[in-house]
A and B are shown apart, each in its own frame.
Chain A
Amino acid sequence: MDQGIYVGIDIGSLSSEAVLLGDEGVLAYSITNTGANPRRAADRCLEDALAKVGLDEGAISQIVATGYGRIRVPFASRQMTEITCHARGAHFLFPRTRTVIDIGGQDSKVITLNAHGAVTDFVMNDKCAAGTGRFLEVMADALETELVDMGRKSLQAKRGVPISSMCTVFAESEVISLIAEGYKEEEIIRGLHEAISKRIFRMAKRLRVQEEIALSGGVAKNQGIAEALKALFRKRINIPPEPQIVGALGAALYARDMALGKG
């Protein structure tokens, strides 16, 4: 294979992703749990992605690492923040994107970008799990349900039960109390989704949110969250087929720029 292979690796707090980009577009990607060792997660997701297209590391032209564990990927030529990479990745997928909402495992961010995909402003949650994938994981445990089922279940509810606590620990107790009070599981889940979405909406209000909006990060797979956000923003929200790899894709695009002498 003569074409260049450009790699983006996104080491998040809960999951790690690798995207292999060729001259014609995405060749392969992989998603794995980060676990306790970001370096090992980087190796693993890169190996998985390469295996999918039958390539080895020798074929790689350039690697850019992103995500909170980016500084733990020593074989990357460059490290870039997930803010810049999510903006670039979302812009590649939806060129009219001007706002990205990224809800990851450990934090959530709202990013505004210009017509070239460059970041113009951003806001991210402070060190608090509320409004993140981790929050939903804890709530799924409290409800004894599967994380992947939460989106579907919440859409079955006609209304959400208001959740007042956004501290993960207090919200867990509140959810347990609501179960004891006899509220339906799907109503509680919908309430949780609405609470998270309101928090992100309020955060986004600090920026000048413009259309189009793209949703990225693992939580974007949750239809319940997507619907709650749409209701609040009252705008169309684009969701990529695989929202979890947007950051890695952005990193791969920067890797391609570097290889072609543009970055």
Chain B
Amino acid sequence: MDRQISIRVLRWLVRRPSTYRLLGVLLEVLNRKEKNEAYKIWVRFLLEVTQKAYAHRRPVIWMNAFTPSEIAYALGGVPFMPEIIASLVSYLGWSRRPISLADTYISTDVCSFYRCALGLVLEGYLPHPDLIISSSHLCDGANKFFRYLSKLYGCPHFFLDPPYKCDTLGRRYMISQLKEVVEAASGLIHVPLDEGRLAQTIDLSNQARRYMEDINRLRQNIPSPFPGSEGLSYLAGMNFYSLGSERGVDFYRTLYHYIERKVVKAEGYLLKERHRLLWLHHIRPYYENEIFQILGDRGVAVSFEEPNYLYWPSLDPSRPWESLAEKITSNIWAGPLDRRIEAVWRMVQDYSIDGVIHFSHWGCRQSCGGAGVIGDFLKEKGVPYIILPGDGADPDNYSPGQTRTRLEALVEMLG
């Protein structure tokens, strides 16, 4: 009974916008010694977005990762990404309960980020969506999952279905889909699509992109100035969530200057860097784990990570639809595997990589499917490579002993 009351109180707190204002004040105090201002901007951004989603003064648009956040900003809506929230919940060590609850509804083989999000939905923690837009270009399961959520919430669901190839025909198909979805969405939420705001959103996304490009160039320096564990957490989160917003530009500009200072001082994130690794897959385990500690203790830096690879060209505010279509269709994780292999090889060379870890997230057919082929390619080139099976959000799928053995064996292979 006591437990039920505390859950009810927790839910009430979680759903109150003022909670995030208070949390913001509290975290500003707790983070006052944090030297990385960009991290603080991420915290502020996340709290603001969440607060706005619960305040519901503007349309709340649920999206999955890789659906361009620019769409939500152009519609004047508040983007809400359940996968990002699930990773945060997992980071805070709270994912077991929602995952267990979801497991009574859907298969345990489904991605744990979705299971965690579903559990949160079922317990009534998340803000009600006005509409849902999802994209299948990484995960066909995403569309089915979001379709299920739209049924639970009784709200409309639109999905983008990017083509396999990034050719003229494919882009044209993508442009027509984007226009159709955004126009329909705009009608449903009664917000007319403002071309000026769309162009401004594209411009903001582009400004952030330019800083991302500069950050990536800085990260090629030896020693590695920025930890891969953070590249896979809030930096990757901002890639999904913030592009098209002013906060996004602010974040990347601040992070660029922070890393630049590190590079000028030749300051690596490890005391002594012996080897440099590339992390493949756009996620990592977010719950408490030893992965980056094991590597760091042995002088092995995760110098770069796949989600921060800039695969799309500069966007053109005067051609917003074409730009967004190009951004979607040039995604290296969708379409032919050759494109991803080419990008991986470029990362290996650009970041002076000694070895590669391909994280294989439980339930993620998209990434696990290509891991073997990428491994064959890299091994052919003489780059040590391991597949690290695990789970991004479900701590019960983490095997500490096996993970340690795989990582240490890789380090031993590196010499």
Nearest Cβ distance between residue B380 and chain A, in whole angstroms?
A: 10
**B-chain residues with CB within 8 Å of residue A127 when the two chains form the complex:** 399, 402
User: B413: CB under 8 A from chain A?
Assistant: yes
Separation of A206 and B384 alpha carbons in the complex (Å): 14
Kindly provide the distance from the CB of B342 to the nearest chain A CB, expressed in whole angstroms.
23
A156 at the interface (CB under 8 A from B): no
Interface stretch (choices A16-24, A52-60, A76-84): A76-84
A121 beta carbon closer than 8 Å to chain B: yes
With A81-B408, A126-B389 in contact, do A120 and B402 touch (Cβ < 8 Å)? no
Complex contact A124–B406 (CB within 8 A): yes
Interface of B is mostly: helix
CA distance A84 to B414 in the complex (A): 12
- Binary A-proximity of B87-112 (CB < 8 A = 1, otherwise 0): 00000000000000000000000000
Taking the nearest CB of chain A, how far is it from the CB of B415, in angstroms? 8
Q: For B404, list chain A residues within 8 Å (CB).
A: 71
> For B385, what are the chain A residues with a Cβ–Cβ distance below 8 Å?
121
Q: Is the CB of B402 within 8 A of A84?
A: no
User: How many A-B residue pairs lie within 8 Å, measured between CB atoms?
Assistant: 37
> In whole angstroms, what is the CA distance A202 to B321 when docked?
47
* CA A127 to CA B405, docked complex, whole Å: 12
With both chains docked as a complex, state the minimum distance between the C-beta of B410 and any C-beta of chain A, in angstroms. 9
Query: Are B413 and A119 in contact, CB atoms less than 8 angstroms apart?
Result: yes
Report the bound CA distance from A137 to B372 in whole Å.
Answer: 32
- Taking residues whose C-beta sits less than 8 angstroms from the other chain, chain B's interface range is 10 to 19
Q: Are A81 and B405 in contact (CB under 8 A)?
A: yes
What per-residue 1/0 map shows which CB atoms of B347-390 lie under 8 Å from chain A?
00000000000000000000000001000000100001110010
A81's partner among B384, B389, B399, B409 (CB-CB below 8 A) is B409
Docked CA distance A206–B385 (Å): 12
From residue A176, how far is it (CB to closest CB) to chain B in Å? 26
Structural contact, B405 and A124, CB atoms closer than 8 A: yes
User: Could you tell me how many residues of chain A have their Cβ less than 8 Å away from some Cβ of chain B?
Assistant: 18
| Residue interface mask A177-210, B partner, CB < 8 A = 1 | 0000000000000000000000000000010000
Tell me how far the C-beta of A138 lies from the nearest C-beta in chain B, rounded to whole angstroms.
19
Query: Are B372 and A83 in contact, CB atoms less than 8 angstroms apart?
Result: no
Interface residue A6 (Cβ < 8 Å from any Cβ of B)? no
> Are the CB atoms of A68 and B372 closer together than 8 Å?
no
Residue A172 is within 8 A (CB to CB) of chain B in the complex: no
Nearest-Cβ distance from residue A143 to partner chain B, whole angstroms: 28
A135 interface residue per 8 A CB criterion: no
Q: Is the CB of A84 within 8 A of B412?
A: yes
Chain A residues, Cβ within 8 Å of B408: 79-81
One of A71, A80, A121 near B412 (C-beta < 8 A)? A80
| Distance of A222 Cα from B385 Cα, bound (Å) | 32
Task: Give 8 closest A-B pairs by Cβ, nearest first.
Answer: A83-B409, A127-B399, A81-B409, A84-B412, A81-B408, A68-B401, A81-B405, A119-B413
A-B residue pairs in contact (CB < 8 Å), sample of 11? A79-B408, A80-B412, A83-B405, A84-B409, A118-B413, A119-B413, A122-B409, A124-B402, A124-B406, A126-B389, A206-B372
State the B residues within 8 Å of A (CB): 372, 379, 384-386, 389, 399, 401-402, 404-406, 408-409, 412-413
- Other A-B pairs, 15, CB within 8 Å; known A80-B412, A121-B385, A124-B406: A68-B401, A71-B404, A80-B408, A81-B408, A81-B412, A82-B405, A83-B405, A83-B409, A83-B412, A84-B412, A119-B412, A124-B402, A126-B389, A126-B402, A127-B402
